[in-house]
Amino acid sequence: MQQLGYQKVLIPDEAALLKNLKSQLEKHNKTQLSEKEFAQILNALNKGSVFERAKILRDRVDYTDDSGESRTIELINQIHWCQNEFQVAQQVTMEGKYKNRYDVTILINGLPLVQVELKRRGLELKEAFKQTKRYGLHSYEAGQGLFQYIQLFVISNGVNTKYYANSSFNQRSFKQTFYWTDTKNKLITQLSEFTDIFLEKCHLSKMITKYIVLNETAKSLMVLRPYQYYATEAIVERVKTSPKYGYIWHTTGSGKTLTSFKTAQILTNLQQVHKVVFVVDRKDLDTQTSQEFNSFSKGSIDATSNTKKLVEQLTGNDKLIVTTIQKLANAVNKNAYKSKMEQLQDKRIVFIFDECHRSQFGKTHADIKDFFEKCQMFGFTGTPIFEENAGSNEFGKRTTTMLFGDCLHKYVITDAIRDENVLKFSVEYISTFKKKDHIFDINVEAIDEEEVMNAPIRLNNVVDYIINHHGRKTHNRTFTAIFCVSSVPVLIEYYKLFQSKKQAGEHQLRVATIFSYGANVDLIDDDIDELGAVGDDDLPMAAEEKYLAPYGNNSQKHPREFLDDFIKDYNREFGTNFSTKTVRASTTTTTTLPKR
């Protein structure tokens, strides 16, 4: 670490720690502090929890100088993070409930902000983790409590090295310890290599000042994982150096909201950026996203409730806005907002799109791009659209690259499974139809795949398979299950089959469904034949009558009518009174669904 530019300092006890802190703060702030002035600063520092001290660290500390004048002092330079004073100490001893001696302490401007605990090769890494917890219990609060300013821990046995954010004793979990990686997600586990990269002065200071998030809801510190860091850095660098777009391919469940929040937060601090707009697709997601954003930075988001409010925010002082693509489209297309919105056309506005493959394939994307002449668009997605899986519409084939340009960073499901950030997959393939004996050529291009996959006999077989194997698959109903299908018409038929078989006494599973419907969509035949071809592989007529009796009347219905029927089933099952007329019925229904 001395080779990396750290100054080695001898700090055997708290008295030496305080003396060093005074001299380092004086050096960093280019001032001289009397003992009386320094005592005021110490008094201001020795307040609150780890979370509250993390806030103090990022603020200026007030004191009154000996002449009676009010002054402030900076604890850490967050704007120019390399311009701080870096020291390293060994075997600092503190005595609280018990005396503890810490392995390696990294001090920035005299404050102990990083603690490194080392174990010899062969010992479990978790031993070092437990040791930091024990120190927190026994001695970090001792004296002036300066060790409660620790922002990051590093633990290593030489072969494996991980880092994690400081938090209260009860919140700290070994699951929240992370390996560092390179930009290609290759793990960096050896202590020597980790030190050269992660503990390099500027990088470490940047991690502390830029990439630790103070979660207001949990009152805890969160540090970004390496792929979140690289994604954020890639977008920020592109905004600084280029007008080009880009997208981030991060698998579902990998912490996309935290990544996008940190990206947006950093971008709002760039002078060349007028506003940052975080765009979600579905109307019911902007409130949820805003709550998550506000948990990372209280008051940072005022969620838009309607298009008029969005226009007020876009033309007002709000620098970070969360909205839906529907309201954004209204703002740029409706004449009622034209006069107000025109002032934004030449402004540098950065749009960050959540699940960009869902929301951006069509006219709305083009409208936003055409209206905001100097905008930049960045998308986050877990499932990008490539040429081979791009569907066609009136705009032709649209891939993620066509709309957003380069992939700036990639963290796919195999990376996440390796890092244990998501659950592993257990994949099974079950054949639901068989080739007839007289068919020899199985590669027939003329086969209508949709007709085969949605044939009534197949749907019936799938439902029977689920009923027969549900107990085993859910570990005797310890877990719930979700069934994904290809379309709303298919969903309706599956639901009808499940409910009909339940009424016939073939199972006792609780089945509920919810789906979105459009105001003007094709009507759906209230008959299973709408989905499949009539032929000798279809259900016998008696079976159709048996399973369709509760719903089938060979009429046509709007999807909303089906949904209301299905919600009535839910109401009977759980004693509720929802309908499609109920405000936010879909949210209430899905969140109150009991286990099993």
Phi, psi of 160 (to 5 degrees): -115, 135
Tokens 């990008």 locate to 384
SS3 content of the chain, % helix, strand, coil (to 5): 40, 15, 40
Q: Give the confidence band of 446 by pLDDT, cuts at 50, 70, 90.
A: low
Would you place residue 76 in the very low, low, confident or very high pLDDT band (cuts 50, 70, 90)?
very high
The DSSP code sequence of 382-433 is: SS---GGG--EETTEE--HHHHH-SEEEEE-HHHHHHTTSSPPP--------
For the chain, the average pLDDT equals: 85
Cβ atoms of 260 and 352 within 8 Å: the answer is yes
Token pair recorded at residue 580: 């499609």
pLDDT at 594: 39
Is residue 211's pLDDT more than 60? yes
SS3 317: coil
pLDDT at 584 over 50: no
Cα–Cα distance measured from residue 416 to residue 226, given in angstroms and rounded to the nearest whole number: 12
DSSP codes joined into one string, 48-63: S-HHHHHHHHTSEEEE
| % of the chain at pLDDT higher than 90 | 60
Does 483 score more than 50 pLDDT? yes
Could you report the per-residue pLDDT of 282-316, keeping only the tens digit for each?
654 555 566 666 666 565 555 556 889 899 999 99
d(CA 596, CA 365): 40
Q: What is the structure's pLDDT at 217? A: 81
Judged by average pLDDT, the poorest of 132-146, 188-202, 446-460 is 446-460
User: Higher pLDDT residue, 343 or 393?
Assistant: 343
| Residue 472, φ and ψ in degrees, nearest 5 | -70, -45
Strand-pairing partners, residue 277, are 321, 351
pLDDT of residue 169: 63
pLDDT above 90: residue 412: yes
What's the rounded Cα separation, in Å, for the pair 404 and 184? 21
Tokens of 422: 């998501």
Beta strands 111-118 and 275-280 are unpaired
- Measured on CA atoms in the order 343, 345, 346, 350, is the torsion positive or negative? positive
Task: Please provide the DSSP assignment of 484-511 as one string.
Answer: --S-HHHHHHHHHHHHHHHHTTS-----
Amino acid 258: pLDDT? 85
User: Does 423 have pLDDT greater than 80?
Assistant: no
For the segment 57-73, the average pLDDT, to the nearest whole number, is 97
pLDDT grade, residue 70 (50/70/90)?
very high
Rounded CA-CA distance 585/563 in Å is 11
End-to-end CA distance of the chain: 55
State both tokens at 542: 């008696």
Strand boundaries in 84-138, DSSP class E:
86-95, 99-108, 111-118
Q: What is the per-residue pLDDT for 537?
A: 38
pLDDT-derived band at 349, boundaries 50, 70, 90: very high
Kindly tell me the burial class for residue 107, based on how many C-beta atoms sit within 10 Å of its own C-beta (0-12, 13-18, 19 or more). Answer: buried
Domain boundaries, the chain: 7-211, 226-418, 449-591
pLDDT of 177 reads 95
Closest CA to 293 of 216, 379, 212, 376: 216
Band (549; pLDDT cuts 50, 70, 90): very low
pLDDT at 305: 62
Q: What does the alpha-carbon distance between residue 310 and residue 229 come to, in Å, rounded to a whole number? A: 30
Residue 7 has pLDDT above 90, yes or no: yes
Which residues lie below 8 Å from residue 165, measured CB to CB, with a gap of 6+? 151, 152, 153, 176, 212, 220, 221, 222, 223
CA distances from 68 to 63, 65, 484, 519 (A): 9, 5, 70, 70
Give the per-residue pLDDT at 122: 86
CATH architecture of 226-418: 3-Layer(aba) Sandwich (3.40)
pLDDT digits (tens, 9 = 90+) for 224-252: 999 999 999 999 999 999 999 999 999 98
pLDDT of residue 322: 84
Mean pLDDT (whole number) for 481-510: 93
Domain 7-211 has CATH 3.90.1570.50: yes
Both tokens of 556, joined, read 């046509």
Question: For residues 81 and 376, what is the distance between their CA atoms, to the nearest angstrom?
Answer: 27
Distance between CA atoms of residues 206 and 81, nearest Å: 6
Task: Compute, in degrees rounded to 10, the torsion defined by CA atoms 577, 580, 581, 584.
Answer: 90
240-to-245, 266, 328, 368 alpha-carbon distances in Å: 12, 11, 25, 21
Q: Which residue has the higher pLDDT, 268 or 299?
A: 268
**CA-to-CA distance for 422 and 250, rounded, in angstroms?**
12
In this model, does residue 190 exceed pLDDT 60? yes
Compute CA distances 181 → 210, 233, 343, whole Å.
18, 14, 43
